[in-house]
Chains A and B, each alone.
Chain A
């Protein structure tokens, strides 16, 4: 092993955290497949799930490369323990009703879109720039798709307005964690590979404010932000998700498609 330049533990950690965010949210959204409120949205949600899974694959493959310890992207995605997943808590929140799912999608995409835009334009890391080029377009569509729905639910019927408001109230206190990042992300921001996540807050706030204004929703005050995902501290729901996600690879080790 001579490639000292490629040995970069904070980079591995940060890429893994991003990969976990995308895998877990992609899996969550894929749970709608066959269950969405209408056929058109079933495909729309499946498309978004596939975008996220595709991004997670690229990130896990890069993480496996950086680690260079013989683990593959599948090993990283499927064979770690619950506490070793470092996704933010927002993405593991259960689907709930359609309003919960679409608000969660808006919150995450409104963060990842400026994130990937920054990486694509500024990152010193060529691999991440490559991933970002594709991801920023996909995230722009997720913001649009989820945003249009939040507007229509908020400014829709009495029931849809109540449901989307309940989703906002349930999920908003998971959004602070996006801007806290992690020590690994901070290290990667210092060497110019990733953005300083705190600096993305104005862009995120502007997107949410615009959608909420059209959807007649108010941005709630958050007294007690929920955090811990980046340190492996998760809600119990992640365990159930992982049981399903990891089942095939644990039952049939090294299974290939």
Chain B
């Protein structure tokens, strides 16, 4: 089947209630409902999740790898942004 008839979709699966959807991969499908079905068939065969999102890959806007330095390097030396300098009371539990 030509790719023009079955564009690419990105698949997101939520493993359990309360967790967020995570990107698990991509697939080809003719439309949204077939994409959901294929995502179910390809990515949830072993009980991986209880909710599926599919998004046309063409709709995803990505950052430009060539601007990596200006976007991400400035965060390298801001260790104080990590919450490791604070004492967390035991009652708060896992953060």
Contact = CB atoms under 8 A, between A and B. Distances in A.
A77 to B, nearest CB: 24
A38 B34 contact: no
A201 interface: no
B37 A37 contact: no
B33 A38 contact: no
A148 interface: yes
Interface string A108-126: 0000000000000000000
Nearest to A38: B1
A47 B44 CA distance: 11
A137 interface: no
Interface residues of B, number: 14
Contacts of B6: 38
Main secondary structure of the interface of A (DSSP, over half): helix
Main secondary structure of the interface of B (DSSP, over half): mixed
A3 to B, nearest CB: 37
Interface string A145-167: 10011001000000000000000
A203 interface: no
A192 interface: no
Interface of A: 37-41, 43-44, 47, 144-145, 148-149, 152
Interface of B: 1, 6, 27-31, 33-34, 37-38, 41-42, 45
